[in-house]
Structure formats: C-alpha cells, structure tokens
Amino acid sequence: MKEYLNKVIRELKLRNYSPKTIKAYLLCIEFYLKYKKVGFEKLEEENIKDFLLLLKEKGKSPQTINLYLNSIKFFYNQVLKIYKKIDLKFAKRNKNLPIVLSKEEINKVIENTSNIKHKLIIKLSYGSGLRVSETVNLKVKDIDMDQLLIHIKEAKGMKDRITVFPEKILNDIKNIIAGKDKDDFVFESERGGKLTTATAQKVFIKSLNKSNIIKSATFHSLRHSFATHLLENGVDVRYVQELLGHQNIRTTQIYTHVMNPAIKKIRSPLDNLNL
C-alpha cells in the first residue's frame, strides 16, 4: 500500500495541489485501500459503491462522500492510468444556507474584541471577504495601500484574485506592519511567524460568545456576511463573485436567498390576528 500512496503523493505534487488537498486525498485513498485489502490495481466499480454506501451508513456528509469519490477517481485515472470511466453519480450536497451575521452583530463582535491585533483580524476578514487561511497567510506585499486592494495569492483552487481593502482600517494596518519586510506576515503569532488558522478561529468564537449572539456562526461567517452585505448595498452579483473568487456564479447566488428583500417585507399572518 505504501508504494501506491507514494505514487499518489508524487502525482499530486506534480500537479501542484495544495498541501491541504494532498493530505485529504491521501487519507481518503488510504482508507479505501484498507477497505479493499487486495487487488488495489484493479478498478472494481461495485466495490467502490459498497465503500461509499458504508460511508453513508457511518453518517458521513455528502461533501465528504464526494471527496472520497474524487480521491478514488484520481487514484485510478491519474495515478494508475486506468482510464475506464467510473460511472458513479456524486452524492447530493446539503443545500444549507450560509450563517450570516447582521451589520449590527458584526459591530458587536468587533466591539467585544479587546486585543488590537485580533480586532484587526476580524475587521479585515469581514471587510475584504477573506477565508481564515487567506487572513493568516496575508503578507505585507499583498496589500496595495494606494489602490485599496488586496492580492490574494494561490487561494482555493490555487487561483489568485483581487479583493477590496477597507479604507477605515488603513492607518491601523500601517501601524501593525510598520518596520516589517514586504515578505513578512501581516498578522504574526506572539512567538513570531505565521498565525495559525486555529488561533484566528478561537479569536472569533471568543468574541462571538462575549457578544451573546446565539447564531451558529464560525470565522467563515465573516466572509458570508461580506458577500450578503455587498448585495444588500446594491453591488452586482457578478462583482461579488469576482471578489469572492467563485468559479461558478451559482455559488455566489446562494447569498441572494439570504438577503431576499421581498421575503423580509412579508409579515406573518399571525401579526394580523387580534390576540
């Protein structure tokens, strides 16, 4: 099995997959090969179906099952060069609406963040629509202070994109990066070096809890809120798509369901009863 997994690593690296994706694919393929036990070099569709059904019975989400299926397809098609079509349909994804914080709730979270650096992390992530990984990986040279833009490099899918930089925090960011080299991280840990995503997530959750907000929000809710509030402000969905770096506009359009102004104007029939 080790020989096959080494081949997977080699192929993924040659295709410039991110370390996170390499780790995920390896875990999925290793789990499948342990399930299969023998005949790794033979593509058996029924065996793959049984494996995916087992994952479903174990309560794995549709997204996770799709990740396993993509990994297995990569193993046979790209690593072992078995070009037989794996005729399996992807599991249906859960159509959950994103958790979005209102502008007032965003304000509360910021107000309940006492540490200046932590406050800036939340402000910038919301104000520019950044993923947590993009925030902690942000370098001084990635911010264009004059144009008020941020160049996100090798984001999800190894794609670059440009997003807006909030002018309101310009002086604060200038202060925090004063004396730093262009290749230094904007937000560093107390010991120096890059801040971890886990630390940034804990910062947000701590401030969320202090704000007494009961929504099941996560750090990623800052990005969801960025997109929703732009649409509420009248920004065209195609521009929002570009700022978020979505390949398909349908991914961006989910935010139109969250901010639907027509629904917000409808009153419940209970309000019309003389109770």
Q: Which residues are catalytic?
A: 131, 156, 220, 223, 246, 255
Residue 134 and residue 155 in contact, taking contact as beta carbons nearer than 8 Å: yes
Amino acid at 99: I
In this structure, which amino acid lies at residue 113? T
- Gap between the Cα atoms of 24 and 31, Å rounded: 11
**Counting runs of H as helices and runs of E as strands, what totals does the chain give?**
13, 3
Whole-angstrom distance, CA of residue 80 vs CA of residue 89:
21
Q: Which residue has the tokens 């509360």?
A: 108
The Cα 132–Cα 119 span in angstroms is 14
Q: Which two tokens mark 252?
A: 């961006």
Q: How far from the centroid of its chain's Cα atoms is residue 141's Cα?
A: 23
Question: What size, in residues, is the chain?
Answer: 275
How many C-alpha atoms does 99 have within 13 Å on its Cβ side?
12
| Phi, psi (rounded to 5 degrees) for 152 | -85, 120
CB 186 within 8 A of CB 152: no
